[in-house]
Structure 1
């Protein structure tokens, strides 16, 4: 009996993979700003210079990063990643290659990825990435 109680307790606290979340980020986005981090950066990027293309159908993210500036952090290097969105309570979180990246907020044509918001709590030294359609 105790074994079943443990299983039910763990299932009640689990995060859920959500297709709704994957659909929210589906499409092509341009990284236009990175702020935060330990150094307190605030870097703007030209639209189309750093492109993230989310494909909800196969759970892939293709990044094309053509930034040659001296920015401390400009997101991800060019490449293809697997992604998923999990939902815990009312917050969505982005996972890349099964590693949690941060909280996700999509409003109209803007995607914000906040590395300070995680399923294990909040931080202060992460970056906040702003992408637009």
Structure 2
């Protein structure tokens, strides 16, 4: 029932917006819970690295819009996003309809979610593509 309410509010907010340049914050995404960073690709040099499940986890708490990152990677030569810590996060719908995730105020790319996987993709600006699984 809560999901229907959030979707209805989202439709109203999107439908009433007269300014196409305004980002809309998405209140409920289904990202709640623990996710494992399993792969990083991209970057200027063409990184492609798989991480063992559980080595780097992101634990999302939608009600407080925080993510607790546990990063146990000890290889400093590998791109692994953020160090361990608790950060705020926001998912916005940007101009053109793409959803993007901001962590600690930093836009870390396009956000795409399925039932057991999500990706953060900033390869359009020579960044990285991060793949997470439950």
Query: 2:120: which partner in 1?
Result: 113
Deviation of the 1:70 alpha carbon: 4.9
Higher strand share: 1
Task: Give the 3-state SS of the residue equivalent to 1:83 in structure 2.
Answer: strand
Q: Which residues of structure 2 form unaligned runs of 5+?
A: 1-16
Shift of 1:10: 7.8
- Give the count of matched residue pairs: 117
Report whether the alignment pairs 1:53 with 2:54. no
Where structure 1 has 5 or more consecutive residues not aligned to the other structure, the ranges are 1-8, 117-121
Give CA deviations for 1:61-111 in whole Å, capped at 9, x if unaligned: 100001123543012110111001001343210011222111000112001
Normalising by structure 1, report the TM-score.
0.80
Please say if residues 31 and 45 of structure 1, whose CA atoms lie closer than 8 Å, have aligned partners that are also in contact: yes
Q: Does 1:129 find its partner at 2:124?
A: no
Q: Which structure is larger by alpha-carbon Rg, 1 or 2?
A: 1
